[in-house]
Amino acid sequence: MIKDNILNDTSMENLSIHAKEILLEKNPFKNFKIENYRYAQLHKNIESQSDTVKSPLHKDLTKLTTDISHNTFANIDLKPTIDKWGFSNSDSFFRVSSLVHRTSISINLDNFKETSLFLNISNISKNITIQKKDPQLKTLVLLNYNCDDETPKSLIFNVAENANLEVVHYDVSNKKSFLYFEVKQSNYSNFNFASFQSNNTHIRNEFFSSLAEKCNFELSGLNFNNFGVNDNYSFIQHVKPSSSSREVFKSIVNNGAITNFQGKIYVDSIAQKTDGYQMSRSLLLDNISKANNKPELEIYADDVKCSHGSTVSKIDQEQIFYFNSRGISKEVANLLLQKAFIIETLDIIQTKDIKDFSIKLLDNLLT
């Protein structure tokens, strides 16, 4: 277990006081009272009940994109950055742990002329830093598939001034997967992130984003057909004026699963004219599943437009009756209502082929 490996790791001797504090005192695998991990249940060994997704996701996605997974990328040392935490929040255990226990590579997306790229992160054991400087919009598709690894992995995006990037993340059929995403946006940049999560047993995704002046950041997530614990945490900070962020997560929960969303929008005192929106909605299909939603705002500027909210609900039986009265079976009506509830999260995807593929995958997996 990672909680034991950390304590026995002789490399701890070479770490800073900050790193040791995070790994030892703020280790959520053994300290269950840490606020940012309060719902994650990382200490549990949850038996897999989901079937492996039969669809050849890798082959399907590489028909729509250029696969760069097997390219050779430069190795970099991220350990010197462990103490350089740039967020107004508690440091991430996932970040520190991944930088200590994994090596790292660097990918410059501007080195590729193609506009749609594919990266199978399931087969890459290293942390990944990704740079984007060119203003031309690029789409990066990430596949995290059939993983069973409790050591966290980091993906760090550096989006330069005026750059435009969208990321579509397929997080499918994993027994255990813990990922840390960090986005640093320079002035006038645009970044969209869509996370498609299905058929997982125990996963946690952390999203940390820092916005400079006149940036736009959008984060959209959907999860369904999961077993065990599906956990998402976000911290979006506005540190300069006139930036905007929009965050929407939707979950369909059944089979006794637990879905968690905990997120915060942080607005610095100088970040006037910030526009921030955060919403989490969960649809419960039975009486044994759970949804924990905790959206938060922390605002130190007075000229902002920020809102947040959450809902947990069940399928409206009057809507089912309406469909039945028009000859549509209860089973089909349920599927239609589930799709109508969750499909909004895919509207963020700008590349038509990838969006169409996502809708088709949703139809195939939604049962």
Q: Report the DSSP beta bridge partners of residue 181.
A: 155, 207
Q: Is the pLDDT assigned to residue 237 strictly greater than 80? A: yes
Categorize the per-residue pLDDT at 13 as very low, low, confident or very high, splitting at 50, 70 and 90.
confident
Per the DSSP assignment, residues forming a β-bridge with 203 are: 177, 230
How many CB atoms lie under 10 A from the CB of residue 111? 11
Q: How many domains does the chain have?
A: 1
| pLDDT the model gives residue 14 | 82
Whether residue 98 is predicted with pLDDT greater than 90 in this model: the reply is yes
Q: Per-residue pLDDT tens for 111-153?
A: 999 999 999 999 999 999 999 999 999 999 999 999 999 999 9
Between strands 104-108 and 74-76, the pairing is antiparallel
Confidence of residue 186 (pLDDT cuts 50, 70, 90): very high
The whole-number pLDDT of residue 10 equals: 47
What is the predicted pLDDT for the residue at 235?
A: 98
- Of the candidate ranges 19-33, 58-72, 193-207, 338-352, the one whose mean pLDDT is the lowest: 19-33
The whole-number pLDDT of residue 45 equals: 85
Mean pLDDT of 253-275: 96
Decide if pLDDT at 3 tops 90.
no
Mean pLDDT along residues 175-194: 98
pLDDT digits (tens, 9 = 90+) for 305-321: 999 999 999 999 999 99
CB-CB contact of 140 with 131 (8 Å) = no
Percent of the chain residues past pLDDT 70, beyond the cut: 95
- Per DSSP, the three-state class of 351 is coil
81-84: long-range contacts, CB 8 A cutoff, minimum separation 24: 82/15, 82/16, 82/18, 82/19, 83/16, 83/18, 83/19
Model confidence pTM above 0.85? yes
Mean pLDDT over the full length of the chain:
93
Q: What is the mean pLDDT of residues 163-168?
A: 98
Q: Which residues pair with 178 in a beta bridge?
A: 204
The half-sphere exposure of 62 on its side-chain side, counting CA atoms within 13 A, is 10
Residue 33's pLDDT is 84
Least confident of 28-37, 230-239, 241-250: 28-37
Does the pLDDT at position 9 exceed 60?
no
Supply the range of the domain harboring residue 33: 2-365
Q: Pick the closest to residue 122 from 166, 64, 57 (CA basis).
A: 57
Q: How many Cβ atoms sit within 10 Å of the Cβ of residue 54?
A: 8
pLDDT in tens, 24-77: 999 999 988 888 898 888 888 887 765 555 557 889 999 999 999 999 999 999
Contact 187, 240 (CB under 8 A): yes
pLDDT of residue 232: 97
Average pLDDT (245-261) is 96
